[in-house]
Amino acid sequence: MPTTQIREVAAARRLDNVRYAIRDLALVADDLRRQGHDVLYLNVGDPNIFDFWTPAHLIEAVHKSMRDGKNGYAPSGGTKEALEAIGGEAARKGITSVQDVFVTSGVSEAVDVGLAALVNPGENVLTPRPDYPLYSAVLSKLDLPVTTYDLNEEDSWQPDLDEIRRRITPRTRAIVLINPNNPTGSICSRSMLEQLADLARRHNLVIFADEIYDKLILDDHSRHLSIAAVAPDVPVVTFGGLSKNYLAPGWRVGWGIISGEATAVKPYIEGIHRLLRSRLCANHPEQYAIKPALEGPQDHLLEVRKKLRSRRDLTVKWANSSPRLSCVPPGGAFYAFRKIDIP
């Protein structure tokens, strides 16, 4: 028997502020369940644990790719077929100045790579509040500060432009825009996108445009607009993936589309690809679902939107029938949060 005592293995200090509220809370709920309490989990944005199913033609495409032997490593940036399909999707989104496309293990990894390749110690990135915790978790992991700007409830949860102006400093490198937004479900107007793009232009900011819910627009009269389409000259990384629109979060397939002026974004693209090579590649067989997803039948979306719309309407009706509650109806995505005022 060795005589020295094994010491506790401390986690790195930079993890102290890494939180992921949604999944951290699930641990508390698990404890309660173990104690015998009945817990109704409504907390994780996974459509597949409710009554949504991955479209069959996508499952078939992944199955076929495995049978066809696509089980080795993929190219670091993504398979040719996937990159072409995402390029086509960018064109349909009206993004005319695409300079690069890359595939990742979910949008989560694309965000991680996009931030790590851009931000130096001492610099900051503006993230929306209320937040989707991925951004603050990645920034904390990189030992970077979390600098928020408010989404304004009085203005249907649109970004508060005055606050953004106040928060920008010479050390601000980027601004995160989640549109449609998680958690609020708000959708940005063209005028809001133009004003944000103008701020980015004037302060040399990269825009991280998280558009993972761009096909989950609940009202027929409403339309999603990409900020990269509105501002072809501004450096924008537009994120998308299969997790939400295509109901396959477990496949971990996401991507980034980099647009802007070619010479301006060139060094950043090189940095991103250096990181992409260092982690080898994203999941390989699942990338074969990207082309059929983006170019094949979209019928499932009609059904998904119909279900989400009726659930949204029910939730809003219930909230607005209570004298103590009120609710701005979400226009996209699939979330509803109870607001708790803590005095």
Footprint on this chain of ligand PLP (rule: CB under 6 A): 45, 106-108, 132, 134, 178, 182, 210, 212, 241, 243, 249, 254
**186 vs 325, which CB is nearer to ligand PLP?**
186
Task: Write down the least CB distance from residue 266 to ligand PLP, Å.
Answer: 26
**251 vs 268, which CB is nearer to ligand PLP?**
251
**212 vs 234, which CB is nearer to ligand PLP?**
212
Q: 196 with 151: CB under 8 angstroms?
A: no
**45 vs 145, which CB is nearer to ligand PLP?**
45
Report which residue's Cβ sits closest to ligand PLP. Answer: 106
Residues with Cβ < 8 Å from 227, sequence gap 6 or more? Answer: 177, 179, 188, 193, 196, 197, 207, 209, 234, 236, 238
Task: Write down the least CB distance from residue 108 to ligand PLP, Å.
Answer: 3
Going through the chain in order, the beta strands assigned E by DSSP cover: 98-104, 124-129, 147-152, 158-159, 172-178, 206-210, 236-241, 254-259
Task: Write down the least CB distance from residue 138 to ligand PLP, Å.
Answer: 11
Task: Write down the least CB distance from residue 239 to ligand PLP, Å.
Answer: 7
Q: 89 with 103: CB under 8 angstroms?
A: no
Amino acid (one-letter) located at 192: M
Amino acid (one-letter) located at 317: K
**65 vs 182, which CB is nearer to ligand PLP?**
182
Task: Write down the least CB distance from residue 243 to ligand PLP, Å.
Answer: 3
**107 vs 247, which CB is nearer to ligand PLP?**
107
Q: 109 with 282: CB under 8 angstroms?
A: yes
Task: Write down the least CB distance from residue 280 to ligand PLP, Å.
Answer: 18
| 236-241 β-sheet, strand order | 98-104, 254-259, 236-241, 206-210, 172-178, 124-129, 147-152, 158-159
